[in-house]
Amino acid sequence: MTTDYGADQIQVLEGLEPVRKRPGMYIGSTGPRGLHHLVYEVVDNSVDEALAGYCKTITIDLNADGSVTVTDDGRGIPTDVHARTGKSALETVMTVLHAGGKFGGGGYKVSGGLHGVGVSVVNALSEWVEVTVWRNKKEHLQRYERGEAQGELSVKSGADSQTGTSVSFKPDQLIFTETVEFDYSTLAGRLRELAYLNAGVDITFTDHRLELLKADEPKINRYFYEGGIREYVEYINKEKQPIHPDIIYVTGEKNGVQVEAALQWSVDAYSDNLMGFANNIRTVDGGTHLEGLKAVLTRTMNNFARKRNKRKDNEPNLAGENIREGLTAVISVKVPEPEFEGQTKTKLGNTEVRGIVDSLIGETLSEYLDFNPNVVDSILEKAIQSFNAAEAARRARDLVRRKSVLESSTLPGKLADCSSRDPAESEIFIVEGDSAGGSAKQGRDRRFQAILPLRGKILNIEKTDDSKIYKNNEVQSLITALGLGIKGEEFDSSQLRYHRICLMTDADVDGAHIRTLLLTFFYRYQRALIDQGFVYIACPPLYKLERGRSHTYCYSEQELQRGISALPANAKYNVQRFKGLGEMMPTQLWDTTMNPESRTLKKVEIEDAAEAERIFTVLMGDRVAPRREFIETYGPKLNMADLDI
């Protein structure tokens, strides 16, 4: 550390240096999420070629050496010399931040890669990158190592009329210290999503890592959907019972903004599932396109309710959440000049999109409903039932009060609250049963840790309507203790009383069931809790391995076996299996599961929203047949010896 602070201490990072210095700024993290982001950046470029109408097929290969190859049959990255840099356009795109065909200039009409850092960031964070471009009947090849071009662009003639680009790269272990191994299912989820969003694009995904697969043949999946987002809604609703078999499909363009939407209501769903995309990017935090969709649905359905005498003049309008009950909708907008809030692009900010979505969808939806009066009646009947149930549940509003000195606290009696009033540092452990609750209450740090014991198994809210939810004592305790408000209302994180909600259940079958019911509750009642990362799963140990006065805690069977094999051959030891949290002493529970210094918490996240939606419907829904099929398909793949039954 120097005590001088002058011009010499001001660093100017040139070229791709800033990316290697602060990779998190560009790809979010250097963990698995950032690693997979590299593939998405390259694939997005190929998809942009498809959006521009020049590319039909994209192939992605996970190679045996840990590298990835993405090939498309688009126009190929330009290879002529760039006037400003004096290098080929290919080398400029690969080595200069904020260089690309997406900042105006007519290269692309719309594109997903807004920040122009895409492929150059992949180059900076890779051990090596090889780019092959087929263009003008020539094959151009260039290699880069950690962002630096290795020699000039080599050109071979005789590539026939083939055009396109192939990018191969191997992530740099110096940057991705946690892992450089790609997860097939994570990538497959995103590629499937892209194929749905871009009807007619043919994506082939192959895994050549035979050792990892423990197979003789590569694993190949093809994603090709002529129906686009209509097929996406069909896929999400596969296990549900639709109110109307036809998916309502809207497509149109206004002022350069393309809008595509697909909607279907289901009889056996009690919450909505709206998925918004802007320029192929999933907008988890919503934005103006989703606001426009919600507004037009509420207005149109209320107009029809009056027109068809489903609501009398003296009765109030149906609320948006009543109308959207049971709705699955995918809306995809393509905006020429998108304004995203934040680098992660999770909220669309263009104000003009709201009105465009409203007018385009309003027109088509009204026309469809005019010609299908039976469908309108069924949707409205479901909405009115939901409205009545919500009215019956209004009393839950009175239960949801924040504790304060002036008002009497209506928090549940069995909640052992913490003394801190700051939600950001407070955490609540939802525990199974009173015995575990007793140990947890004695072992906790009462300054910032609250305990809520639940009696028995809570209600499965996947198959219950709202009025029953609010009558259930355990659910009522949860809503009140956490400060959740009413189901379906916009989530207000300022009302949340704890910013870490930890599910702490026994390590047995019943514990797993209770944890699943709780996750179903959070997913369906207030999904924003999971989306914004407030829900965690505590990991209590399964075994205590004692030898003399020393002991270690083991969190899995494998860890126990490793612990035993590390002991001397003739050592005497004792293994205690914890069947329930109630069996643990308060100090043990604190040391292993609750102490922030030594515990392990798993954060609950949603990687693939469509798949999560489908799995909750299959496993927790009303219909038995899909669940049985799921068990018959995946049951044989389980190792029965590992199951705790």
CA atoms of 199 and 325, how far apart (whole Å): 28
Q: What is the pLDDT of residues 519-563, one digit of tens each?
A: 999 988 888 899 888 999 999 888 889 988 888 988 888 889 999
Percent of the chain with pLDDT over 90: 43
Is the separation of the CB atoms in 259 and 360 below 8 Å? Answer: yes
Q: What is the pLDDT of residue 408?
A: 38
Q: How confident is the model at residue 115 (pLDDT cuts 50, 70, 90)?
A: very low
pLDDT at 147: 87
* The predicted structure's pLDDT at residue 110: 60
Q: With 70 as the cut, is the pLDDT of residue 396 above it?
A: no
pLDDT tens, 258-315?
999 999 999 988 889 999 999 888 888 889 999 999 999 999 999 999 999 999 888 8
Q: Which long-range contacts (CB under 8 A, 24 or more apart) does 409-417 make?
A: 410/480, 411/480, 411/481, 412/452, 412/476, 412/477, 412/480, 412/481, 414/452, 414/453, 414/477, 415/450, 415/451, 415/452, 415/477, 415/481, 416/441, 416/444, 416/446, 416/450, 416/451, 416/452, 417/450
Q: Which of 466, 348, 309 is nearest to 397 (CA)?
A: 466
At 123-158, the pLDDT tens digits run 999 999 999 999 888 899 999 999 888 988 888 886
- 8 Å CB contact between 400 and 480: yes
pLDDT the model gives residue 269: 86
Q: Which residues contact 314 (CB under 8 A, 6 or more apart)?
A: none
Per DSSP, 106 falls in state S
CATH 3.20.20.120 fits 229-392, yes or no: no
Q: Which residues pair with 261 in a beta bridge?
A: 250, 331
Three-state DSSP class for residue 335:
coil
Q: Which residue has the higher pLDDT, 82 or 437?
A: 437
Average pLDDT over residues 315-330: 93
Model confidence at 207, pLDDT cuts 50, 70, 90, reads very high
pLDDT band of 7, cuts 50, 70, 90: low
Q: What is the mean pLDDT of residues 446-469?
A: 85
pLDDT at 170 over 90: yes
**Least confident span in 11-20, 178-187, 345-354:** 11-20
Between 621 and 60, the more confident residue is 60
Predicted pLDDT of residue 406: 31
- Give tens-digit pLDDT for 237-249: 998 999 999 999 9
Which CATH number is associated with domain 17-223? 3.30.565.10
Quick one: average pLDDT of 422-435? 90
Task: Tell me what pLDDT residue 342 has.
Answer: 59
Neighbours of 220 (CB within 10 A): 12
Which sequence positions are flagged as catalytic? 432, 506, 508, 510
Dihedral, CA atoms, 410, 412, 418, 419, nearest 10 degrees? 30
The alpha helices in 31-106, defined as continuous H runs, are: 32-51, 89-95
Q: Which residues contact 470 (CB under 8 A, 6 or more apart)?
A: 392, 393, 395, 396, 476, 479
Fill in the DSSP letter of residue 181.
Answer: P
- Indicate whether 3 pLDDT > 70: no
pLDDT over 90 at 353, yes or no: yes
Which pLDDT belongs to residue 13? 46
Higher pLDDT, 364 or 118: 364
The CATH topology of domain 403-540+578-606 is Rossmann fold (3.40.50)
**Which candidate, 225, 174, 180, places its Cα nearest to that of 203?**
225
Pairing mode of beta strands 257-265, 248-254? antiparallel
Q: Give start-end residues of each CATH 3.30.565.10 domain in the chain.
A: 17-223
Which pLDDT band holds residue 108 (cuts at 50, 70, 90)? low
Residue extent(s) of CATH 3.40.50.670 domains in the chain? 403-540+578-606
Question: What's the rounded mean pLDDT across residues 152-166?
Answer: 84
d(CA 580, CA 561): 21
Helical segments of 308-349, H only: 320-323
pLDDT at 12 over 80: no
pLDDT exceeds cutoff 60 at 645? no
Give the residue-averaged pLDDT of 504-518. 87
Which tokens hold the place of 456? Answer: 């028995």
Residues of the chain with CATH 3.30.230.10: 229-392
Most confident of 18-32, 377-391, 628-642: 377-391
The whole-angstrom distance between residue 193's C-alpha and the CA centroid of its chain comes to: 12
List the single range of 77-86, 133-142, 161-170, 552-561 with lowest mean pLDDT. Answer: 77-86
Tell me how far apart the alpha carbons of residues 179 and 272 are, in angstroms, rounded to a whole number.
36
pLDDT attached to residue 302:
95
Say which amino acid occupies 423: P
In one-letter notation, the amino acid at residue 289 is H
What pLDDT, on the 0 to 100 scale, is given for residue 82?
A: 77
Whether the CB-CB separation of 331 and 277 falls below 8 Å is answered with: yes
pLDDT at 409: 45
Question: Does pLDDT of 641 surpass 70?
Answer: no
Average pLDDT over residues 580-594: 89
Report the pLDDT value the prediction gives residue 105, as an integer from 0 to 100: 47
